[in-house]
Amino acid sequence: MSGDAHPSYDPATGEVLCDVPVSGTDLVDEAVEASRIALKGAWASVTPAERSRMLNRVAQAIRKDAQRLATVECLDSGKPLREAVGDIETSARYFEYYAGIADKLQGDTIPLGPDFVSFTMHEPIGATAHIIPWNFPLVTTARGLAPALAAGATAVIKPAEQTPLTALMLPVYLEQAGIPAGVVNVVCGPGKMTGAPLTQHPGIAHVTFTGSVDTGKTVMMSAASHIASTTMELGGKSPVVVLADADFDAAIEGTLKAIFTNAGQVCSAGSRLVIERSVADKFLSELIKRIEQFTFGHGLDNPNIGPVVSKQQLLKIEGIVRDSVSAGAELLTGGNIKRPDKLNGWFFEPTILLAGDSSTKCVQEEIFGPVLTVQIAADFEHALELAEGTDFGLVAGIYTKDVSKALRFSRKISAGQVFINQFFAGGVETPFGGTKNSGFGREKGLEGLKAYYTVKTVTARI
């Protein structure tokens, strides 16, 4: 109910950072109403060129306050400060990138012969809802909000209840940039209390959701009740394939980055290493050596591994590791909850599990923690089969010097994005989204705009 408060924690200490007021149905209704009024009113009268300038100013305002934003993101989510600094820059970059297209969204003319003139116009989709997860709070907000604004749509943002603070800072930058009141609204609270009434609201034309598969299904049903379109980014169990001919050092660095960035709480994490048998022993010993040197600590102290976001997440990670070991997976290192000096927060040791059977939980389920599952492949064809063996399909990586194998892999694998001899390069400019249980729709790049406008065709007999 509106008026209640929900705590946000510092995941490193486990202590309450602050209490955030909850928006219930009444405030959600007000937010949607404000965004609908702005859509037809103040925002509709801003020219595309001026929208572009405003988005550039949002990017500048974020950059100007980057240190403060990064500190808040670090405290609220637990992520190492250097990663939070990167997140804030990426958030600014989204606004800058989409500023460049706001005045270039133009339609086509369609040739129908001498008696007709036919053309298309792009129109903003309407008031949009953005349901944000806790792993990349400001980045995920900017990823959907910047293209929505570029296309002339308005927005209601619901940050995750674990990490609402940077979304609450955003309206100040939007105001400084001249974006009219009502164009962007932020409502806070848990999914059932705040997210549900928002996605069920008939005034919402499109829902952009990032989170778990089950909540995604619920959100799709809410959107279906009033025929809203959706973008669904539902995470993954993405493979990193390392073939015997791969550049050893590049593959080690890539594998570490793919799974231990943000303590593994990354939708596109490379959480399954699929490695060719002939190099497996050497590769695994080097990985273990490297992660046994990792430092732990508060995000502000820039450790290799920070805490995970919540006690619930910590227990989920521990549970999947335990169940996988009982089902035959072999623990190569880690596997336990960790208590670094003087910190009572939620830490988990970086962990490597050698999977037994492909049906084991650590192969099939998204863990969202610092846990790498290893599968050994006899050869390239076997690696491809193992890589493809889950219900997810978000991203996939391959390390090899053999171009034809890399391209064959790219063609065969179910994934929205394939990384060759690197992991995570690109970002703002490269389209991103899943297949299978990882969801549908594309964000980032020019593809990311398409959710936020509709095409109207006008045809005249002349």
- Residue 8 binding Mg ion, by CB under 5 A: yes
Question: In the set 161, 276, 349, 443, which binds ligand NAI (CB under 6 A)?
Answer: 161
In the block, which residue shows the tokens 């109910």?
Answer: 1
Look at residue 130 and give its three-state secondary structure.
Answer: strand
- Residue 161 binding Mg ion, by CB under 5 A: no
**Pair 124, 149: CB distance under 8 Å:** no
Neighbours of 85 (CB within 10 A): 18
- Nearer to ligand NAI by Cβ, of 210 and 255: the residue is 210
Q: Which of 73, 96, 161, 233 is catalytic?
A: 233
d(CA 152, CA 46): 9
Closest CB 394 distance from Mg ion, rounded Å:
25
- Residue 131 binding ligand NAI, by CB under 6 A: yes
d(CA 244, CA 252): 13
Structure tokens at 404: 């034809």
d(CA 381, CA 359): 19
d(CA 428, CA 440): 18
Question: In the set 218, 304, 414, 430, which binds ligand NAI (CB under 6 A)?
Answer: 218
Question: For Mg ion, which stretch binds (CB under 5 A), given 9-17, 139-147, 385-393, 412-420?
Answer: 9-17
Q: E-strand spans in 81-237?
A: 116-124, 127-131, 154-158, 184-186, 206-210, 229-233
Question: In the set 11, 80, 195, 335, which binds ligand NAI (CB under 6 A)?
Answer: 195
- Residue 11 binding ligand NAI, by CB under 6 A: no
Neighbours of 128 (CB within 10 A): 29
Closest CB 163 distance from Mg ion, rounded Å:
5
Question: For ligand NAI, which stretch binds (CB under 6 A), given 5-13, 38-46, 69-77, 195-203?
Answer: 195-203
263 CB contacts (<8 Å, ≥6 apart)?
78, 79, 305, 306, 307, 308, 348, 369, 370
Neighbours of 239 (CB within 10 A): 29
Question: In the set 38, 219, 287, 353, which binds ligand NAI (CB under 6 A)?
Answer: 219
Which residue is at the shortest CB distance from ligand NAI?
191
- Nearer to ligand NAI by Cβ, of 204 and 343: the residue is 204
Q: Residues 253-282: x/- map of binding to ligand NAI (CB under 6 A)?
A: --------------x---------------
Q: Kindly identify the residues of this chain, within the stretch 294-313, that bind ligand NAI according to CB under 6 A.
A: 313
Question: For ligand NAI, which stretch binds (CB under 6 A), given 158-166, 270-278, 282-290, 322-330?
Answer: 158-166
Q: Are strands 154-158 and 116-124 parallel, antiparallel or unpaired?
A: unpaired
Q: In terms of Cα–Cα distance, which of 31, 23, 358 is closest to 192? A: 23
Closest CB 47 distance from ligand NAI, rounded Å:
34
Q: In terms of Cα–Cα distance, which of 223, 293, 291 is closest to 253? A: 291
Q: Which of 74, 267, 362, 365 is catalytic?
A: 267
Measured over the CA atoms of residue 409, residue 411, residue 415 and residue 419, the dihedral's sign is positive
In the block, which residue shows the tokens 């050994």?
Answer: 376
Q: Kindly identify the residues of this chain, within the stretch 162-181, that bind Mg ion according to CB under 5 A.
A: 162-163
Asked about 233 being catalytic, the answer comes back as yes
Question: In the set 8, 154, 208, 210, which binds ligand NAI (CB under 6 A)?
Answer: 210
Tell me how many residues contact ligand NAI (CB under 6 A): 28
- Residue 76 binding Mg ion, by CB under 5 A: yes
Which residues are known to be catalytic? 233, 267
Residues that bind Mg ion (CB under 5 A): 8-9, 76, 162-163
